[in-house]
Amino acid sequence: MTTTQPRVISFSQRLSKWDVKFSPYLYISPFFILFAIVGVFPIVFTAVISFMDWDLVRGSGTFVGIDQYTWILQQPHFWTALRNTFSIFLLSTVPQLVLAIFIATMLDRNIRAKTFWRMSTLLPYVVAPVAVGLIFTVIFADKFGIVNTNLQAIGLDPIPWHSDPFWSHVAIATMVNYRWTGYNALILLAAMQAINRDYYEAATVDGAGAFRQFWSITLPSLRPTLIFVVITSTIGGLQIFDEPRVFDQFGRGGAGQQWLTISLYLYDIGWGQWNFGRAAAMAWILFLIIVAIGLINLLVTRTLLRTEGTRSPVEKSRRKRTQKAVAR
């Protein structure tokens, strides 16, 4: 014969309950408010503008649907820019990773003045991209550049750095490699140092040479880090802007769009032609391209990680060895 009565709680109890419930959200809210203002809002606003013919000065526009998107996809410049971006990306990422692994392996050895060598590899990364551009403009100038004057001095033909698309990509990729190789080398070095030294000792006992050890122990263990490095380089590579922009005096990718990249084209549409509707559409297209490449990366990553998760070659060979030892 009891009636359930609502439990009476004091105000202070209720306050403390709210405190537990809501305070954490309040504490983390500054970041999210800031993120909403400087992160989400611009992205959404860009999407809105991409469907409009936008006048920046008067801050108004008219709705034009997907016209801006179709306009961009019909531009020959867009496709040239896409080709250039991927070409520069490949020319920079592949040699850069090979070189970074090599440098990291060297630094991983027991050498004198370790910190000095490690800091030296990171030095180019500290130099601002624009400064790198200025230095390399002098190196890659067509007539009086350092490379071409040396080539001519030994009787070879000068390289047309600024008129041939391929050579312009090589020059720009060189700037990228100069800046990022050391950075990637240090990340890979950190991963190398985390590899259990027992593996190497065992391998040495087994009579494996340095090259064999590198191929069978170091590389497989680096796989997750390599994947990380590849993904970050991909994103950076697809957004490449500074280096091609400072490659000549105009910064618009060359008279025949030899080294126009997607970001450069996007910038020119926005700030050169003041067409922010088209620039916004372009930004979204670039975003979608990066998402697509990111998904491909993810798929590749998954397959690679799965093979590593079950049996890494190192573990397999070790187990075989133990089995053999036991059998003996």
Partner 1 sequence: MTVRTSRRTVAAAIAGAATIAIIATGCAPSGDSDAGGTTQLTLATFNDFGYTDELLAEFTEETGIEVIHNKAATSNDARANYFQKLGKSGLADVEAVEIDWFTEAMQYSDLLAPVPDDLKGRWLDWKEAAATDAAGNLIAYGTDIGPQGICFRSDLFAAAGLPSDREAVAELFPTWDAFFEVGAQYTQATGKPFIDSANSVLQGIVNQLEFAYEEPDGTIIATENPDIQDAYNTVVEKAIPISAFPAQWSEDWNASMANGEFAAMLCPGWMHGIISGNAPDITGWDIADAFPGGGGNWGGSYLTVPANGANVEAAQQLADWLTSPETQIKAFLNAGTFPSQPDAYTDEALTGYTNEYFNDAPTGEIGIDRAEAVTVSTFKGPKYFQFHDALQNAVTRVFDGLETPEQSWDTWVTEVSAF
- Among 151, 132, 148, 152, residue whose Cα is nearest residue 140: 148
Is 141 one of the binding residues for partner 1 (CB under 8 A)? yes
Distance between CA atoms of 290 and 297, rounded to whole angstroms? 10
The token duo for 221 is: 């263990």
Is 152 one of the binding residues for partner 1 (CB under 8 A)? no
Q: Which C-beta is closer to partner 1: that of 14 or that of 302?
A: 14
Q: Which C-beta is closer to partner 1: that of 21 or that of 197?
A: 21
Residue-level length of the chain: 328
Using the contact rule CB under 8 A, the part of the chain among 93-101, 135-143, 211-219, 231-239 near partner 1 is 135-143
The token duo for 147 is: 């490379």
Taking CA 289 as the corner, what is the angle to CA 286 and CA 295, rounded to the nearest 5 degrees? 140
Distance between CA atoms of 141 and 136, rounded to whole angstroms? 8
Query: Residues in contact with partner 1, total (CB under 8 A)?
Result: 41
Is 271 one of the binding residues for partner 1 (CB under 8 A)? yes
**Tokens 């991983």 correspond to what residue?**
108
Instruction: Report whether 92 contacts 237 (CB < 8 A).
Output: yes
Beta bridge pairs of residue 53: 62
The token duo for 130 is: 């624009």
Is 79 one of the binding residues for partner 1 (CB under 8 A)? no
DSSP one-letter string for 139-150: HT-TTT-HHHHH
Is 130 one of the binding residues for partner 1 (CB under 8 A)? no
Q: How far is the CB of 168 from partner 1 (least distance, A)?
A: 11
Is 44 one of the binding residues for partner 1 (CB under 8 A)? no
Beta bridge pairs of residue 52: 63
* DSSP code, position 7: P
Is 250 one of the binding residues for partner 1 (CB under 8 A)? yes
Is 70 one of the binding residues for partner 1 (CB under 8 A)? no
Q: How far is the CB of 239 from partner 1 (least distance, A)?
A: 20
Is 9 one of the binding residues for partner 1 (CB under 8 A)? no
The token duo for 71 is: 């306009």
Q: How far is the CB of 273 from partner 1 (least distance, A)?
A: 6
Is 26 one of the binding residues for partner 1 (CB under 8 A)? yes
Is 27 one of the binding residues for partner 1 (CB under 8 A)? yes
Is 145 one of the binding residues for partner 1 (CB under 8 A)? yes
Distance between CA atoms of 169 and 258, rounded to whole angstroms? 8
- Of the candidates 124, 252, 304, 308, which one interacts with partner 1 according to CB under 8 A? 252
Beta bridge pairs of residue 269: none
Q: Which C-beta is closer to partner 1: that of 69 or that of 71?
A: 71
Is 138 one of the binding residues for partner 1 (CB under 8 A)? yes
Q: How far is the CB of 249 from partner 1 (least distance, A)?
A: 4
Instruction: Report whether 200 contacts 218 (CB < 8 A).
Output: no
Is 309 one of the binding residues for partner 1 (CB under 8 A)? no
Contacts with partner 1 by CB under 8 A lie at 12, 15-16, 19, 23, 26-27, 29-30, 33-34, 37, 56-59, 71, 74-77, 137-138, 141-145, 160, 162-163, 248-250, 252, 255-256, 271-274
